[in-house]
Amino acid sequence: MKKLAIFDLDGTLVSSIDDITRCVNEAFEYFNIPSITKDQCMKSLGHGARSLVISSLEYSGYTPSSDAEREDIINKYNEIYGLCDQAATKPFDGIMQMLKNIRKAGYRTAIVSNKPHPLTLKMSQNLFGELIETTYGQSDMFPKKPDPTIIKHLPSEFGIDASESVYIGDTDVDVMTAKNSGMRAVAVSWGYRSRDIIEAAGPDYIADTVEELEKIFHII
């Protein structure tokens, strides 16, 4: 029987925090805003680019003088990140082999991210090629996570029952997304939230290593 594995991207499949932090700080530098740390940037991730910038501004201690200025800062970040060479963004160790193994075992694969769709698609194609069959980033087509609309849509796109589908992510937002869809939730602890936070969200499984994640695929 075919099964479907739906993955979050940043913090789950790829380590992207260095590039994201650099681009946030480049945008802030343009407006003479104090920089933030990688840890602060990491805590701001999970809800999309807009939320990332707004939360990062709070960490910087800077308050925009108007809604228009805040929008200018968000747009500058999107511009800079859109042009970023992503040189420091790479799959976590073991991810490529894990994807190859679960594809051989019969799993279909997809990515759903709150990163803007063009960037999500570009990263998915460049890093994973045919190992990921379908990719959705944030767009006007579907609400962002934890809204479950796109997650609920994907099983039918593949002709697979939702009961044979699982969502994998590294944040409480991802666990909420899976729960909101009625899908099983697998959380990974190597990403952008502490183990305590993802445990509190109540996933069905937690994987501390890529090897543990692959074992979970064989028992669900």
Assign residue 37 the CATH number of its domain.
1.10.150.240
pLDDT at residue number 219: 87
Q: Are residues 65 and 142 in the same domain?
A: no
**Residue 1: is its pLDDT beyond 70?**
no
73-129 pLDDT, tens digit per residue, is 999 999 999 899 888 999 999 999 999 999 999 999 999 999 989 989 999 999 999
**Residue 43: is its pLDDT beyond 70?**
yes
pLDDT at residue number 28: 98
171-187 pLDDT, tens digit per residue, is 999 999 999 999 999 99
What is the rounded distance in angstroms from the CA atom of residue 148 to the CA atom of residue 128? Answer: 24
Q: Are residues 119 and 77 in the same domain?
A: no
Q: Are residues 34 and 131 in the same domain?
A: no
Give the whole-number percent of the chain exceeding pLDDT 70: 100
**Buried b or exposed e, range 124-159, using 16+ CB within 10 angstroms:** beebbeebbbbbbbbeeebebbbebebbbebbeebe
pLDDT at residue number 48: 85
- The pTM for the full model equals 0.91
Containing H/E element for 29?
A: helix 17-30
Q: Are residues 68 and 121 in the same domain?
A: no
What is the rounded distance in angstroms from the CA atom of residue 74 to the CA atom of residue 12? Answer: 24
Q: Which of 41, 43, 47, 14 is nearest to 25 (CA)?
A: 41
Q: Which of 182, 158, 157, 156 is nearest to 167 (CA)?
A: 182
What is the rounded distance in angstroms from the CA atom of residue 155 to the CA atom of residue 149? Answer: 11
**How many residues belong to the chain?**
220
Q: In which residue are the tokens 């729960």 written?
A: 179
**Residue 164: is its pLDDT beyond 70?**
yes
Q: Are residues 134 and 159 in the same domain?
A: yes
Domain boundary (60, 83, 106) is at 83
What is the rounded distance in angstroms from the CA atom of residue 218 to the CA atom of residue 220? Answer: 6
Q: How many distinct structural domains can be found in the chain?
A: 2
Q: Are residues 10 and 32 in the same domain?
A: no
pLDDT at residue number 58: 97
Q: Are residues 65 and 168 in the same domain?
A: no
Q: Round the average pLDDT of the chain to a whole number and report it.
A: 95
Q: Which domain does 112 fall in, by range?
A: 3-15+89-217
Give the whole-number percent of the chain exceeding pLDDT 90: 89
**Do residues 190 and 10 touch, judged by C-beta distance below 8 A?**
no
